Structure 1
C-alpha cells in the first residue's frame, strides 16, 4: 500500500538533519524510526498512486458514458416531440 522508497526518502531526510552524535546511534534507531513511520502512515488509510490512477480512469470512462447517454436521451426526446 505504501511506497517503501518514499518512506526511505523521508527517513533519510530526517537522518540528514540530525546532529552527528544522534546519527551515530546506529541501525536500531533507524529500524525503530522506519517501524514507527510505517505504522503511523498505515493509520492514515491512504490509497496508492496506482489505485488513484485506476479510479481516475474509471471516473473518466463513466463521465464519457454519461455524456453519451445524455445525448441519446436528448435525441429520443426530440424524436418524441416531433411525433
Structure 2
C-alpha cells in the first residue's frame, strides 16, 4: 500500500516543478468552475443552510404556540361544557 505522506510529498514536488503559467491556469480553472457551479445553484430553487435553520426555528416556535392554543381551547370547551351542564 502507498504511504499517504510520500504521495503528498510527490504531489508537492510535482506542483512545485510546474511552470507558473500552468499553476495560474489551475487556479483560474478552479475559480471558473466554482463560479459556474454557483451560477447553476442560483437557478435552482434552494435556500442556504442559514435560511433553512432560521425557518426550522420559526416552525418549532409555531408548533409550540399551536400546542398551547389547542390546550387553551380544550380547557375552554371543557369549561363551557360544564357550565351548560350546570344550567340544565
TM-score of the two chains, using structure 2 as the length reference: 0.60
Structure 1 unpaired stretches of 5+: 1-23
- Quote the Cα distance in structure 2 between the aligned partners of 1:33 and 1:71: 54
* The structure with more radius of gyration: 2
* 2:36 corresponds to 1:36: yes
Aligned-residue Cα RMSD (Å) equals 1.8
Question: C-alpha separation between the residues in 2 aligned to 1:66 and 1:36?
Answer: 43
Match of 1:7 in 2: none
- Which sits farther off after the overlay, 42-51 or 71-80? 42-51
1:18 matched to which residue of 2?
A: none
The count of aligned residue pairs is 61
Structure 2 unpaired stretches of 5+: 1-21, 84-88
Q: Deviations over 1:23-62 (max 9, x none)?
A: x581333232122111111111211111111110110010
* Partner residue, 2:72: 72
TM-score normalised per structure 1:
0.63
Which range moved further: 66-75 or 39-48?
39-48
